[in-house]
């Protein structure tokens, strides 16, 4: 008997919904249904009353689910005992947003090789919303993304860094007051659908809307436009500092209180709980 099936049974008891349990377990609804039928066959017991749509736990099913909690806890304790001090092991698939892949990934690769020699890592880079969905679907073990309130509430989020947002202006316009920029220069807007983009859009809502907006999907491209005098932009301050040169005037306190939270997303299950702390420590060390 696999503990994964017992974990799913307990999840159904908790949420009282096949569809919600499937989402939380990163499974399709049909896969969850097949898993529960296999568990019933293995136990030779009727755990669900399928005269209801969706099926409901029978009284026996509830008792089995309650007992399963203890089994899962015992198995987790065995894993913790066996892996204490052993570090990470196995293969991990990690996703990074563009800015994190440029600033964090290189150091992470070095530290991972030094600290976690028993683990292997595969990396990918994409937008926050894409990476978040890949964690939900089980295609990634963890993703480093911009926190967006209300997004993927079924996932576990750990803060890596809280970064202030800054304003980058062409040096030739450094004399201009910040509140006058929207009326005199195009605004270079990093893709509004992304985590950073949504933060930027929120900052614009608090002031005067720019007359002209140029939308780009690359932080580097946004900064290159500023260098060439095309317009001004709002980005996380570490990203501005990474690409700035003598042609860029940086205003650090123009958006006081506005920050980008960089978080690590993982599934909220017992398996992830075993390796999450060591992986999080590694990511924070690289940030």
CA geometry: angle 156, 161, 164, nearest 5 deg: 125
Instruction: Name the pTM for this structure.
Output: 0.67
Residues 6+ apart with CB under 8 A from 200: 165, 189, 190, 192, 234, 235
Do the beta carbons of residue 190 and residue 254 sit within 8 Å?
Answer: no
Q: Where are the alpha helices (DSSP H) in 84-104?
A: 98-103
Q: What is the pLDDT of residue 206?
A: 55
Walking along the chain (287 residues) 10 residues at a time, the average pLDDT comes out as: 88 91 85 94 94 91 94 77 70 92 93 93 92 88 88 85 93 91 92 84 69 90 96 94 95 84 91 91 94
Residues 6+ apart with CB under 8 A from 31: 22
What fold characterizes domain 90-287?
D-Maltodextrin-Binding Protein; domain 2 (3.40.190)
Q: What is the pLDDT of residue 285?
A: 95
Provide the angle, in degrees to the nearest 10, between the axes of the packed helices 195-205 and 128-136: 130
Q: What is the pLDDT of residue 222?
A: 96
In angstroms, the CA 30 to CA 51 distance is 17
CATH number, domain 3-83? 1.10.10.10
Pairing of strands 259-267, 155-170: antiparallel
In angstroms, the CA 212 to CA 214 distance is 7
Q: Break the chain into its structural domains and give their ranges.
A: 3-83, 90-287
Q: What is the pLDDT of residue 96?
A: 96
Q: What is the pLDDT of residue 12?
A: 94
In angstroms, the CA 54 to CA 17 distance is 7
H/E element, 211: none
Q: What is the pLDDT of residue 79?
A: 66
Do the beta carbons of residue 254 and residue 168 sit within 8 Å?
Answer: no
Q: What is the pLDDT of residue 199?
A: 82
CB-based burial label for 212 (10 Å; 0-12, 13-18, 19+):
exposed
Sign of CA dihedral 263, 267, 268, 272: negative
């Amino acid at each position: 008997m696999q503990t994964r099936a017992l974990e799913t049974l307990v999840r159904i008891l908790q949420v009282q919904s096949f569809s919600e349990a499937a989402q939380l377990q990163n499974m399709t609804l049909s896969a969850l249904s097949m898993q529960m039928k296999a568990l019933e066959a293995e136990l030779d017991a009727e755990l669900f009353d399928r005269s209801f749509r969706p099926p409901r736990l029978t009284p026996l099913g509830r008792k089995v689910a309650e007992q399963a909690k203890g089994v899962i806890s015992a198995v987790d304790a065995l894993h913790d005992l066996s892996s204490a001090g052993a570090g990470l092991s196995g293969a991990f698939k990690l996703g990074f947003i563009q800015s994190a892949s440029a600033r964090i990934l290189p150091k992470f690769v070095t530290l991972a090789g030094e600290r976690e020699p028993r683990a292997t890592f595969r990396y990918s880079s994409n937008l926050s919303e894409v990476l978040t969905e890949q964690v939900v679907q089980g295609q990634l073990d963890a993703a480093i993304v911009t926190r967006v309130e209300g997004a993927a509430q079924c996932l576990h989020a750990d803060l890596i860094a809280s970064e202030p947002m800054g304003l980058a202006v062409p040096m030739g316009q450094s004399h201009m007051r910040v509140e006058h920029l929207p009326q005199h220069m195009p605004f270079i807007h990093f893709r509004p659908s992304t985590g950073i983009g949504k933060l930027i859009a929120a900052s614009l809502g608090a002031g005067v809307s720019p007359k002209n907006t140029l939308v780009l999907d690359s932080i580097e491209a946004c900064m290159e436009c500023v260098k060439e005098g095309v317009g001004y932009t709002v980005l996380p301050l570490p990203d501005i500092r990474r690409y700035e040169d003598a042609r860029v005037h940086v205003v650090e306190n123009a958006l006081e209180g506005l920050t980008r939270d960089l978080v690590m997303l993982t599934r909220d299950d017992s398996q992830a709980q075993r390796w999450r702390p060591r992986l999080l420590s590694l990511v924070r060390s690289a940030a």
